Amino acid sequence: MEKRTLGSKPMLYPMPVTLVGADVAGKPNFMTIAFIGIVNMNPAMVAMGANLSHVTTKGIVKNETFSVNLPSKRMVEVTDYVGLFSGETVDKSRLFTIFRGETKTAPMIQECPLNLECRLVQKLSLGGTDEIFIGEIVQSYCAEEFLTNGKPDVEKMEVFVFSMNDNRYFSLGEMIGKAWSEGKKFIPHS
């Protein structure tokens, strides 16, 4: 099959969709972040690419804490709204029910099935459009109804994912296998 080159673009599919929160001038503010992922097991760390011009980003730099909130597919409209409109022009502090954890300054969203409370450990400037923020996950929160055997269950949480460049959201498909298990059936070509 012949391949077409598509250029140097942020193409990795799908991407998670998260709502990242920080306090700004004493009020919670949120931005939608898709450039995000777990980057360390122990201590648990998350890294994200966020533009310094965002209001939320400024709050993260000031307080050195932030939250990562995983919305369910029922929250697709408010999630997109948060990513469309800046706290510069709209008040996003009343969109959600807020709760706080041990850091006190990382506002978390009650309506999101999973919340990660993070302390900023490093900010890296790559000279591009976005800065890299690395946060240690100091605590995580999930309601009992979204757990199976004590672990967050993506089916119960009804998470959704994002397709970059064509700007589409998708709900999760069916489970197709077990990790660290399916590979045992695989027979490599000799």
Ligand X SMILES: Cc1cc2nc3c(=O)[nH]c(=O)nc-3n(C[C@H](O)[C@H](O)[C@H](O)COP(=O)(O)O)c2cc1C
* Binding footprint of ligand X on the chain (CB under 6 A): 17, 29, 31-35, 49-51, 54-56, 80, 83-88, 130, 162
Shortest separation between residue 134's beta carbon and ligand X, angstroms: 14
Contact 58, 27 (CB under 8 A): no
For ligand X, the nearest residue by Cβ is 83
Compare residues 91 and 182 and give the one whose CB is closer to ligand X: 91
In whole angstroms, what is the distance from residue 59 CA to residue 66 CA?
8
CA triplet 177, 44, 99: central angle to 5 degrees?
Answer: 100
Shortest separation between residue 49's beta carbon and ligand X, angstroms: 5
Shortest separation between residue 10's beta carbon and ligand X, angstroms: 9
In whole angstroms, what is the distance from residue 146 CA to residue 85 CA?
29
- What is the identity of the amino acid at 150? G
Compare residues 35 and 141 and give the one whose CB is closer to ligand X: 35
Q: Which residues pair with 163 in a beta bridge?
A: 168
In whole angstroms, what is the distance from residue 69 CA to residue 56 CA?
14
Compare residues 80 and 136 and give the one whose CB is closer to ligand X: 80
Token pair in block for residue 98: 């807020």
Shortest separation between residue 107's beta carbon and ligand X, angstroms: 12
Compare residues 54 and 119 and give the one whose CB is closer to ligand X: 54
